[in-house]
Structure 1
Amino acid sequence: MDRLPLIAPRPPKLSLMGEALAGIEARGIYSNGGPVVRGFEAAATAQLFGGAGDCLAVANATLGLMLAIRHAAGPRAGKGQFALIPGFTFAATAHAAEWAGLTPLLCDVDPGDWAASAEAEARAFEKYSDRIAAVVPYATFGAGIDLTRYREYAARGVGVVIDAAASLGALDAEGRQFGAGAPFAMVYSMHATKVFATAEGGLVHSGDSTLIEKLRQMSNFGFAGGRSAEGPGINAKLPEVLGLVARARLDEIEGVAAHRMQLDAAYRSALGGFAAEKGFEFQELRGSRPALQFQSLLLPRAFAGHRRAIIETLAAQGIGAAQYFSPHLGEQPWFRAHGVSEPLPVCDDVAARVLSLPVTDAMTEADVERVCGALIDACAASGLKALPHAERRGGHVHEALIVGGGPAGTALLTAASKSDALVRLAEAGLAVVERDAVLGRGEIGSYAITSDSSAETFMTAVKGNGHDGIAALEKHSSGQEVAMHAGRLGVPLARTTPFLEATGAELAAIVATHGGTVATRSDAVEARRTRDDIWAVRVRNRVTGEVRVMRAAKLVIATGGHQARANVETEQVAGVTLGALAGERLMTGDAFLRIGGLDALRDRIAGVPAPRIAIVGGSTSALAAAALILKAAPALPLGAGALALYHRRPLRPFYPSAEAARADGFSDFGAQDICPVSGFVYRLAGFRLEARELVLRMLGVGGRAPDPRMALRRIGEVDEAAIRAEIEGADVVIGALGYRPRALPLFDVGGSRIALAADAPGRPRLVDQQCRLIDAEGRPVPGVFGIGLASGHVPDGRLGGEASFSGKANGLWLWQNDIGQMIVDQLLGEQAQAVA
């Protein structure tokens, strides 16, 4: 069967332009506004834009956006001003704004045409006022948009640039090229994948010829006549050879765009009945004709979490499909870190359900019918029985369902990929339910501290992995970013997010390709045991609100840990609850360690001449809080002993061997503190990386000088009354008292809530030594496992670990290797190996 690719470029053939190419060679003009490019610009102005204004051909549309936005920003560029951009657009739009010296400000889109919402723009103007230097709406997927309000913005002095990348060939309501005669810059793409397909290029049009002339000057290094820059500039010129291709495409564009419109009509006809029943939803088109690069529609809400499986099913039948633009800009790591985002609920909904289907020059209406039939079959195969009257998922039984696709859940998948078991798991029937838009990142990126896992540990997830896509991440930009921190005291957690996302994407692709299910933007609400010994899990889509039941033979709870203020307040310190000692001066350790926590601390001690800060706890998070305070820039005004750490257990540093410990001058350990498998000293109890360095300093190991700003106060060695007085006298008290497991509500066959060990007060365990979830009596809950922060597994036996350790073992390496593999073996039924 013939393949139907999503995009099949058919630009004019240079091989048929021998005479024209010879003419370029004879003239010896290859760029710099030669006659071919100038001729194309004039022809485009006449044929497409009715002779109004002027056109500038550029090397690509992104350069065109950069020029136009930089001009629109004027003297406000580089001064912390915003470019207002819809969240549902291609990354190039926001990148261009950044290169032009503005910060992307993301707003929501209209649920009908998926273009920038007038109401969302109005709210942004009300909130940010004159900080918005430019507005850059996107004509979504080659459709037109109403330019009336953008003319109004321009009239009141706001810079306007229209990203019409896919719209060259689109007609407005009056039958003119969309954007003809506009008073601002309209930027179109001529990339090979667009309807106006060349090899590469862009076209900027405006009804204002003076504006085009200014952009022309900017496209040539800011030169105006001579070779002296008179303003901002870059090299954005289209070469003569590509001008030939563009000129030839100009003669073809009308027929190409009209043909694609016929395919659009065929799609809407074939799926129209389903759309009427709230099944597939189509983009509302503005104007009389779009220029369709591909067909875009929204899946029924019940399928939002099954899109990847649907795409893979279509691919198996030779049909290309994708999900433009998902994740949307507000979900992409770079723009979360370098932009500002308003609430984006419609973007969330559209991005969760959007599906891109083929529309190519060579397709026929019969091809469209084939695609539509395959789409309906793919939806049915993903779990719903029929359309449009779809049944809720519930008949299919997954072999295993992982609740949580953050760092712990993906660590389990990584362990499976390392042992060549991931494909077997997926083929056996694996499902992953994750509340985020992607797998991998969880909440790690929201913390302002460095990791307690080394860069080398992060990289072991991918280095030498048997799956090529995962192994390639070692050289991926995100992998290189993590690797830059090799040999240092951890990786800033915010810098790990792109790598975790990239790893999660590869793992999700393997699962989906081999028959598994990855349901993102979804919450597991509860699970009930059925009479046939199956777990029925209620899953709610976070975007659509749709609730369905997913059935699985086994569950893995990988939902991480949490720190509730109420639990911190009830902790007993020196015979009194911490809440009674600290009152409103209390900050939870988790809140302090997140981005913005240090700023909140600064606000609390502002104006205090000699502030005193108490950290209660001896965990890694407590030491991380101390390190964050001590290295704050600008430095906090702390005098001698102003920062005090109150801890119960001795602070122990990790060492790779007893010999290394003694060579460093540390001898406070015995045989029970050495791991019999690895030979490590305090393998589990010992602090590592940045926390370890601080402990070594404060203990004075090897002649190290303690930081005079900090004091160690061990509870039990200091008079309780003195400790109470010190904490009561502190200006801020940080309760860094570890984490509790976040357990999924489980119900038995009779419908009664199962009391879990994790529900107990304090910092209880979630699992036993085989990573099986345990109830309040310590008995394993059938078919349920747990992994991740605060789960409470303590390595022993062949997994190693010192005999003296009595806490909880948390560690990325353990999850990606021994602990993760233990669970994988049990999911695959290899019990004997798992508990050996």
Structure 2
Amino acid sequence: MHPLPLIAPNPPRLSEHADALRRLEASGVFSNNGPEVQAFESEVTDALFDGMGATLAVANATLGLMIALREAVGPATPPPGTLALMPALTFAATAQAAIWAGLTPLICDIDPDDWSASAAAEDALLSRYGDRIGAIVPYATFGNAIDLDRYIALNQRRGVGVVVDAASSLGTRDDAGVGFGAASPFATVYSMHATKTFAVAEGGLIHCGNPDRIARLRAMASFGFEQCRIASLPGLNAKLPEVLALMARLKLAEIGTVCERRAALESAYRGALDGFQLQRVAGRSRASQFMPVVLPPHLALHRDAIAAMLADRQIGCGRYFSPHLGQQPLFQQTALIEPTPVADRIADAMLSLPLTDTMSVDDVARVTDALNHACRAVDARSVPVAPVATSRAIANVVVIGGGPAGSAILLAAGTKGLLPSLASGLVMVERDEAIGGGQLGRYAITSDTTADTFLSAVRGSTHPQIVALADHPAARAVAQHSGALGVPLTEVGPLLRETGRRLTTLIRDHGGTVLTGHEALGATRRADGLWSVRLRRLSDGAEVEQIARNLVIAAGGHQPLDRLSTQVVAGGRLIDMAGGRLLQSDEVLSVGGFEKVADLLAGRRAPRVAVIGGSTSAAATLFSLLKGRPAIPFGAGALTLLHREPLRPFFPSVAAAAADGFSDFGPDDICPVSGFVYRLAGFRLEARELMLRMLGVDGRQPDPRVTLHRIRGDDDADAREIMERADLVIAALGYRPVGLPLSDAAGNAIALAAHGGAPMVDRHCRVMGDDGEPVPGLYGIGLAAGFVPWGHLGGEKSFRGQANGLWLWQNDVGLMIVQQLLGEAQQVAA
């Protein structure tokens, strides 16, 4: 029985082409774009790309990607933090090339069918990061002919550079029967490595429909020389030697036959592989390098055993690309990584089967028979996997929600060395595919938290993995805003997600469980005092019961629509006064929200907007409308803020307030711990600057486009008229906690104080029942929880409301919960 290796390199044999070698030697040229390179470039353009555009041969595809990416982002050195958007399921060279080109990889999820970059993920990240994305690097997965028209449209509409990584696609033909990448306006980079279908020894190829771009790339591949030995472009030495160009010419002569033979083998595989997920193929034909298959979920855990059984039968296999980019240590340190649930699933279950030039259809049958036999053998001896794997029969605590508030508990524990003790009895449940970020990164506004606050939890940790985050690109992007009025939340999200990824590892290393992609359906307090929490996996609906001694609700807040139908403002029902012109501030502040407002106001010569509320979100809404681009033509008095309570700016001290000429405060408005004026009630950062202007503090001039109107009691006709005349009414009325159905042992609903509009938690973060007593073993933290600082936490006596601050959550408030969860004995042991 002959071996069937996964890959059997089959480059041209130079020993059989002595005349060609003598021709090369007689030319006296061995590099520097000699006659063999020039002939190959011309021949391959005609043979594979129907004579369209131009082609550049390079020493290898990685160098080709490096110069193509550098050219795509423009002649100037890219600013630090410029991103290269790419899919997770690709070879390391894609991300390495971006790093060498001065870019930070931004890794996104993939399409579940064709395994290329997810269009939805790309669109979301282009909207979130905007001009920070200097280039998109789609990967033509396993030689597939991906949709280049989509990237042409993105290139034209957004002005973002595009470089296609088509390492395995030299020889692939698109739906029109033309070589993949022909005539595209951007660079498409192919490999001619010995392991590829277009096997040479080493080498790469760049094709583009724009000959001028190829001319620039040719200069960059030769030290940036546009003129004789004068560098005018960034460059390096990426020239293809003549002997490799000769081999490439010989391979070009046979590539059509090679691809046809491999296509027949792939067809045989597809006819014999039942029960496996196969890649959805695009294009008329492709230069298949191997046959990728995805094992069924119940067999994916046994992939190594299946591969070993194939090896016993002298059949090679691979695991391209597992681990994918987002799972590799270098890129976890240097890239921004989005949640990649599809790539995780595909990579963990991927198996690559042999497909070589010397194989026959009978060999394919041998491989598929062996694979099916191995799967049956593993299946027969496998123990069924539980629908949801949790850490223990009884957890000490289940945390519902792994966003900024839920993760803050972990960070607070980490600052005191308590995280291992907390993690050992922890089950964290999060709907998203990663913990840490929650919904924070989807807001297109600047935070009311400073850059140093976001970084303090990283720097103050007792865990080296967390401290090391300070040097991560996500942390450096946030640090660039030190001293500024907040940080764009779209840049905060990656830092929180990377923090969450490292916290996940720490939790699991210490015996805890993180269930991403899960939701809590409800919880019952049993007669024995334990909580029974019903969890559901979102991917397939599988449910499980988790028993816990304690439960922490950190599910965040929302702006419920039903509130609008009953909300009364200035003596009138809001829905009656605003009707179809009513939005909630959350819609406006999210990514794409400004564009939605601009669209709704389009065509109005003098648009008018009323914003209702005196909170930070109300001020952020105003600020977003004022600074959005392209600007909405707001005239004088076009924006009106309707508020009930006085608008108070924060000051770091009484002296600072006096220096600014602000005196509208008394002793009860000063925090006794910090000395801050309006520590809790005061607007901060951008919102503060806007309010200082509007209040005319220290001679500041109000923005003429904004008017303040303090609502006078329950019958303010002027306020009602403002809302009725407005083209849009935006309700910034705060948030309510996301609820979790709770019941007692008898099945009766547990009524909470929050159901009646009271704060959800007391001063110890214990969730309160409607009887005014804390519900045993139940805690809450986060947006809309209603916590009010007290004692050593500080705060002014006059404050009425709730305090929501990441610093508080990650420090005193989070630690307060941790201490109650662990108890005194466990804290001493820790």
- TM over 0.5, yes or no? yes
Match of 1:740 among 718, 736, 755: 736
Is 1:630 the counterpart of 2:657? The answer is no
Which position in structure 1 is the counterpart of 2:219? 221
| Separation in structure 2 between the aligned mates of residue 117 and residue 457 of structure 1, nearest angstrom | 34
Please give the secondary structure, in 2, of the residue aligned with 1:830.
helix
Cα distance change on mapping 1:646 and 1:336 into 2, 3 Å: farther
| Separation in structure 2 between the aligned mates of residue 578 and residue 515 of structure 1, nearest angstrom | 51
| Separation in structure 1 between the aligned mates of residue 324 and residue 397 of structure 2, nearest angstrom | 30
Which position in structure 2 is the counterpart of 1:422? 419
| Separation in structure 1 between the aligned mates of residue 296 and residue 431 of structure 2, nearest angstrom | 20
Alpha-carbon offset, residue 55 of structure 1 = 10
Give a deviation string over 1:74-108, Cα, whole Å, max 9, x none.
xxxxxxxxx99988556977999999xxxx99997
Query: Which residue identity is paired with 1:508?
Result: T
Match of 1:165 among 143, 164, 167: 167
Asked whether the equivalents of residues 32 and 241 of structure 2 are also in contact (C-alpha less than 8 Å), the reply is no
Match of 2:808 among 793, 814, 833: 814
Please give the secondary structure, in 1, of the residue aligned with 2:534.
strand
Cα distance change on mapping 1:525 and 1:166 into 2, 3 Å: farther
| Separation in structure 2 between the aligned mates of residue 450 and residue 641 of structure 1, nearest angstrom | 24
Is 1:789 the counterpart of 2:783? The answer is yes
Alpha-carbon offset, residue 56 of structure 1 = 6.7
Alpha-carbon offset, residue 543 of structure 1 = 2.9
Give a deviation string over 1:775-794, Cα, whole Å, max 9, x none.
22232222221111111110
Is 1:474 the counterpart of 2:470? The answer is yes
Please give the secondary structure, in 2, of the residue aligned with 1:527.
strand
Q: Unaligned stretches of 5+ in structure 1?
A: 1-26, 73-82, 121-133, 155-159, 173-179, 252-267, 305-318, 339-343, 378-384
Alpha-carbon offset, residue 468 of structure 1 = 2.2
Give a deviation string over 1:672-703, Cα, whole Å, max 9, x none.
21112111111111110011111111222222
Q: Unaligned stretches of 5+ in structure 2?
A: 1-26, 73-83, 122-134, 153-161, 183-187, 252-268, 303-318, 355-366
Which position in structure 1 is the counterpart of 2:204? 203
Which position in structure 1 is the counterpart of 2:535? 539
Query: Which residue identity is paired with 1:819?
Result: V
Cα distance change on mapping 1:564 and 1:116 into 2, 3 Å: closer
Which position in structure 2 is the counterpart of 1:17? none
| Separation in structure 2 between the aligned mates of residue 213 and residue 321 of structure 1, nearest angstrom | 33
Which position in structure 2 is the counterpart of 1:520? 516
Alpha-carbon offset, residue 456 of structure 1 = 1.4
Alpha-carbon offset, residue 214 of structure 1 = 9.8
Alpha-carbon offset, residue 553 of structure 1 = 2.5
Query: Which residue identity is paired with 1:516?
Result: G
| Separation in structure 2 between the aligned mates of residue 633 and residue 522 of structure 1, nearest angstrom | 38
Alpha-carbon offset, residue 352 of structure 1 = 4.1
Give a deviation string over 1:682-740, Cα, whole Å, max 9, x none.
11111100111111112222222222222221122796122222222222211111111
Asked whether the equivalents of residues 611 and 642 of structure 1 are also in contact (C-alpha less than 8 Å), the reply is yes
Cα distance change on mapping 1:663 and 1:216 into 2, 3 Å: closer
Please give the secondary structure, in 2, of the residue aligned with 1:637.
coil
Alignment of 1:166-205 (within 5 A): 187-189=189-191, 203-204=204-205
Q: Which moved more, 1:432-441 or 1:804-813?
A: 432-441
| Separation in structure 2 between the aligned mates of residue 600 and residue 183 of structure 1, nearest angstrom | 38
Which position in structure 2 is the counterpart of 1:689? 685
Q: Which moved more, 1:232-241 or 1:644-653?
A: 232-241
Alpha-carbon offset, residue 637 of structure 1 = 3.2
Cα distance change on mapping 1:543 and 1:236 into 2, 3 Å: farther
| Separation in structure 1 between the aligned mates of residue 694 and residue 756 of structure 2, nearest angstrom | 34
Cα distance change on mapping 1:664 and 1:85 into 2, 3 Å: closer
Cα distance change on mapping 1:298 and 1:567 into 2, 3 Å: same
Give a deviation string over 1:374-411, Cα, whole Å, max 9, x none.
xx99xxxxxxx963464665763322222212121222
Query: Which residue identity is paired with 1:658?
Result: V
Query: Which residue identity is paired with 2:710?
Result: R
Which position in structure 2 is the counterpart of 1:652? 648
- How many correspondences in the alignment? 689
Alpha-carbon offset, residue 294 of structure 1 = 11
> Percent identity at matched positions?
46
Alpha-carbon offset, residue 212 of structure 1 = 13
Alignment of 1:755-766 (within 5 A): 755-761=751-757, 764-766=758-760
Cα distance change on mapping 1:84 and 1:322 into 2, 3 Å: closer
Which position in structure 2 is the counterpart of 1:802? 796
Alpha-carbon offset, residue 284 of structure 1 = 9.6
Is 1:700 the counterpart of 2:696? The answer is yes
Q: Which moved more, 1:433-442 or 1:752-761?
A: 752-761
Alpha-carbon offset, residue 470 of structure 1 = 1.9
| Separation in structure 1 between the aligned mates of residue 396 and residue 301 of structure 2, nearest angstrom | 20
Asked whether the equivalents of residues 651 and 679 of structure 2 are also in contact (C-alpha less than 8 Å), the reply is yes
Give a deviation string over 1:528-562, Cα, whole Å, max 9, x none.
33444433333333333333333333222111110
| Separation in structure 1 between the aligned mates of residue 168 and residue 496 of structure 2, nearest angstrom | 32
Which position in structure 2 is the counterpart of 1:493? 489
Is 1:407 the counterpart of 2:404? The answer is yes
Alpha-carbon offset, residue 217 of structure 1 = 5.5
Asked whether the equivalents of residues 30 and 243 of structure 2 are also in contact (C-alpha less than 8 Å), the reply is no
Give a deviation string over 1:279-311, Cα, whole Å, max 9, x none.
x9787999999767999756449999xxxxxxx
| Separation in structure 1 between the aligned mates of residue 164 and residue 701 of structure 2, nearest angstrom | 60
Match of 1:670 among 661, 666, 669: 666
| Separation in structure 1 between the aligned mates of residue 209 and residue 635 of structure 2, nearest angstrom | 60
Please give the secondary structure, in 1, of the residue aligned with 2:459.
coil
Alpha-carbon offset, residue 358 of structure 1 = 10
Q: Which moved more, 1:786-795 or 1:285-294?
A: 285-294
Asked whether the equivalents of residues 55 and 214 of structure 2 are also in contact (C-alpha less than 8 Å), the reply is no
Give a deviation string over 1:635-687, Cα, whole Å, max 9, x none.
43333333221111111111111121122111222222111211111111111
Is 1:778 the counterpart of 2:769? The answer is no
| Separation in structure 1 between the aligned mates of residue 202 and residue 779 of structure 2, nearest angstrom | 54
| Separation in structure 1 between the aligned mates of residue 117 and residue 453 of structure 2, nearest angstrom | 42
| Separation in structure 1 between the aligned mates of residue 29 and residue 768 of structure 2, nearest angstrom | 77
Query: Which residue identity is paired with 1:781?
Result: V
Query: Which residue identity is paired with 1:412?
Result: I
Alignment of 1:503-582 (within 5 A): 503-582=499-578
TM-score by length of 2: 0.67
Alpha-carbon offset, residue 583 of structure 1 = 1.6
Asked whether the equivalents of residues 281 and 300 of structure 1 are also in contact (C-alpha less than 8 Å), the reply is no
Cα distance change on mapping 1:459 and 1:161 into 2, 3 Å: closer
| Separation in structure 2 between the aligned mates of residue 183 and residue 600 of structure 1, nearest angstrom | 38
| Separation in structure 1 between the aligned mates of residue 676 and residue 30 of structure 2, nearest angstrom | 66
Alpha-carbon offset, residue 430 of structure 1 = 1.8
Cα distance change on mapping 1:625 and 1:657 into 2, 3 Å: same
Query: Which residue identity is paired with 1:355?
Result: D
TM-score by length of 1: 0.67
Cα distance change on mapping 1:456 and 1:188 into 2, 3 Å: same
Asked whether the equivalents of residues 190 and 205 of structure 2 are also in contact (C-alpha less than 8 Å), the reply is yes
Which position in structure 2 is the counterpart of 1:13? none
Is 1:612 the counterpart of 2:614? The answer is no
Which position in structure 1 is the counterpart of 2:348? 355
Cα distance change on mapping 1:189 and 1:592 into 2, 3 Å: same
Alpha-carbon offset, residue 631 of structure 1 = 2.7
Alignment of 1:214-613 (within 5 A): 219-221=217-219, 227=226, 235=235, 238=238, 297=295, 299-300=297-298, 323-324=323-324, 349=342, 351-352=344-345, 354-355=347-348, 387-388=383-384, 390=386, 393=389, 396-426=393-423, 428-613=424-609
Alpha-carbon offset, residue 413 of structure 1 = 1.7
Please give the secondary structure, in 2, of the residue aligned with 1:828.
helix
Asked whether the equivalents of residues 110 and 116 of structure 1 are also in contact (C-alpha less than 8 Å), the reply is no
Asked whether the equivalents of residues 624 and 691 of structure 1 are also in contact (C-alpha less than 8 Å), the reply is yes
Cα distance change on mapping 1:740 and 1:241 into 2, 3 Å: same
